[in-house]
Structure 1
Amino acid sequence: MPTALSVNVNAIAFLRNRRDLPWPSVEGLGRIALEAGAQGLTVHPRPDQRHIRFSDLAVLRKLINEFSDAEFNIEGYPTREFLNLCQEALADQVTLVPDDPSQATSDHGWDFRKHQGFLVETVAELKALGIRISLFVDGDGDEDAMDVVKEIGADRIELYTGPYGGCFDDPQKASSTLTLLARTADAARARGLDVNAGHDLTVANLPGLIERIPYLAEVSIGHELTADALTHGMAETVRRFRRSCGQLV
C-alpha cells in the first residue's frame, strides 16, 4: 500500500494571516490538493491562531466530506480547548504533540515515561469518540519507548523527521539519521503500531525514507509542499509528492 499524503495547510494560513484579507484561500488550495489526489489535510490550531484559525476547522471538515477517502488530521498539544476543537471538527486522526504554545513549530517528541499518565487519559478520551490517535516521537532509536506508547493506547506514532530534513547537504549524516528513524519505526511496527512521519520532508528525501520504512502509513507535509507550490502550482506539487510517495509512476 503506497504511503498516504496529507497536505498540511498551516503555511497557507500563515501567509493569509499577514493581511486582513481572505487570500490565499486555505479552503481553495485545500480543494486543489484533494482534487489532485492528496489523501487528506492536516492542521495545527495553535492557541494564538497565528496560522490556522479555529473558524477554519468547520470549513475544512465540510470540504473533506466531499472526498470519500480523505481524512482530517488535527495536530496539537492536548489542552481542553484543543480536545474540544477535535471533537467539534470530527477529526479522523489526532496527532498529539508536546509543543509549548510559544514554539515556532513542533521540534521534538514526547517524553513518554514522564507524561504517560496524562497521555493515557487523553488518548482514552479521544479514542472513545472513534478518533485514531498518533503520538509525535523523536526518531532517536529508543526502542523501549515504543513499549510505553503501546501501553498508552495510541494507534500510531508520527516520526519527527526534522533532523533528517535538515541533512539535505550532508548525505552521511542523513544516512545515520535515517538509520535511527528506521530503528524507531521498526520497534513501533513490532509492537503493532502504525507509523506516520512529518517535518521538513521533500520530494528529494521522501524516497529514501520510504525505501527504508516501506510500511510508512502516512506523511504530513506543509512547509516544503507550500514552497514548491509557488513554483509548480498546488496541483502539480501534490502530484510530485505523490510520485515520491510511490503513488504515481
Structure 2
Amino acid sequence: MPAQLSVNLNAVALLRNRRDLPWPSVTVLGRIALAAGAHGLTVHPRPDQRHTRFSDLPDIRALIDDEFPQAEFNIEGYPTDDFLALAEAAEPEQITLVPDDPEQPTSDHGWDFLAHRDMLKAKVARLTKTGARISLFCDPDASEEQLEAAKATGADRVELYTGPYGACHDDSAKAARELERLGKTAGMARAMGLGVNAGHDLTVANLPALARAIPTLAEVSIGHGLAADALEHGMAGTVRRYLKALQG
C-alpha cells in the first residue's frame, strides 16, 4: 500500500497572514485537499503564530470530524507545556514532536534521542493518554543506538527528516546517496517496531524514488512543495499528482 499523504497547511496560513484578511482559508484549502484524496492535514502551530494560528485548530478538527471522519489530523511542534496543552485540546490522531527552537523558520534536524530520551519519554507518556499516535522527528542517518533510544521513549513512529534529500534536486548522485541512508535508517526503525513517516522538501519529482527506497513508508507530510505546485495546478490537481507519485 502506498504511503499516506498528509497535507501541511502552514504555507497556506503563512500566505493568509500577510494581510488582515481571512483568505486563503486553511479550512477551505484543507477541504479541497481531503476531497481530492489526501489522507490527512498537518499543522505546526508555532508560539508566534506566524503561520498556523491557535484559532485554526478547532476549525480543522471540526472540518475532519464533520466532513472527512476517515481523515487524520496531525499536529507537530516542540513539546513545551503550552504546546502539549494545545495538542491535547485539539485531539489529533497524530502528534509529531520536533526539536525546533521556536525562532527557527522551519525544521532542519531530528532529535538527539540519547540526550533527550528521558524528557521525550515523559512527554510521550503524557500525550499517549490522548489516544493519539506519537511520532518523533528523526535525522536521516540516525544510528542504531539513537533509534533504540527513540523506541525507549514509547513513541509509535519516527518521521525521517528528508531536507538533505530534497536539497539534491539538481544532483542525482548525491540524491542516491541520501536515499541510501534514508532507506537504511528506515529499515532499522522498522526492525525495532517503529513506524516510519517522512517529511521536508518532498516534491512530485523526488517522491517516487523515496517510496521505492522505503517500501514500508507509512506517511509523508508535505507543505511547501505542495503549496507551490497548487499555485500552478490547483490544490485538487496537486493532491492527485502527489498521490500518484507516492505509488512509486
TM superposition score normalised by structure 1 = 0.98
Q: Determine the C-alpha separation between the residues in 1 that align with 2:34 and 2:68.
A: 8
For the 8 Å contact 1:12–1:26, the answer to whether it is kept is yes
Q: Partner letter of residue 185 of structure 1? A: A
For the 8 Å contact 1:143–1:183, the answer to whether it is kept is no
- CA offset at residue 75 of structure 1? 0.3
Q: Determine the C-alpha separation between the residues in 2 that align with 1:99 and 1:150.
A: 20
- CA offset at residue 143 of structure 1? 2.1
Q: Determine the C-alpha separation between the residues in 1 that align with 2:203 and 2:72.
A: 21
Q: Partner letter of residue 117 of structure 2? A: Q
Q: What whole-Å deviation, never above 9, does each CA across 1:9-52 have from its counterpart, x for those lacking one?
A: 00000000000000011110000000001000000000000000
For the 8 Å contact 1:33–1:238, the answer to whether it is kept is yes
Q: Determine the C-alpha separation between the residues in 2 that align with 1:40 and 1:133.
A: 15
CA RMSD, 1 decimal? 0.9
Kindly, what percent of the aligned residue pairs are identical? 65
Q: What whole-Å deviation, never above 9, does each CA across 1:88-114 have from its counterpart, x for those lacking one?
A: 111110000000011000000001111
Q: What whole-Å deviation, never above 9, does each CA across 1:58-104 have from its counterpart, x for those lacking one?
A: 00000011212100000000011100111111111000000001100
Q: Which runs of 5+ in 2 are unaligned?
A: none
| SS of equivalent to 2:5 | strand
The yes-or-no answer on 1:237 pairing with 2:248 is no
For the 8 Å contact 1:161–1:200, the answer to whether it is kept is yes
Q: Partner letter of residue 232 of structure 2? A: T
Match of 1:156 in 2: 157
The yes-or-no answer on 1:15 pairing with 2:24 is no
For the 8 Å contact 1:109–1:160, the answer to whether it is kept is yes
Match of 1:81 in 2: 82
| SS of equivalent to 1:68 | coil
Q: Partner letter of residue 81 of structure 1? A: D
Q: Determine the C-alpha separation between the residues in 2 that align with 1:117 and 1:141.
A: 18
- CA offset at residue 155 of structure 1? 0.2
For the 8 Å contact 1:141–1:183, the answer to whether it is kept is no
Q: Determine the C-alpha separation between the residues in 1 that align with 2:192 and 2:220.
A: 20
Q: Determine the C-alpha separation between the residues in 1 that align with 2:197 and 2:181.
A: 15
Q: How does 1:168-207 map to 2 (within 5 A)?
A: 168-207=169-208
For the 8 Å contact 1:14–1:51, the answer to whether it is kept is yes
Q: Determine the C-alpha separation between the residues in 1 that align with 2:61 and 2:246.
A: 24
Q: What whole-Å deviation, never above 9, does each CA across 1:131-178 have from its counterpart, x for those lacking one?
A: 100000000141221111111111000000000000000000000011
Match of 1:108 in 2: 109
The yes-or-no answer on 1:208 pairing with 2:212 is no
Q: Determine the C-alpha separation between the residues in 2 that align with 1:31 and 1:49.
A: 21
* Structure 1 runs, 4 residues or longer, greater than 3 Å off: none
| SS of equivalent to 2:136 | strand
Residues paired across the two proteins, number:
247
Q: Partner letter of residue 51 of structure 1? A: H
Q: Determine the C-alpha separation between the residues in 2 that align with 1:141 and 1:87.
A: 29
- CA offset at residue 2 of structure 1? 1.5
TM superposition score normalised by structure 2 = 0.98
| SS of equivalent to 1:73 | strand
- CA offset at residue 128 of structure 1? 1.4
| SS of equivalent to 1:114 | helix
Q: Determine the C-alpha separation between the residues in 1 that align with 2:110 and 2:241.
A: 28
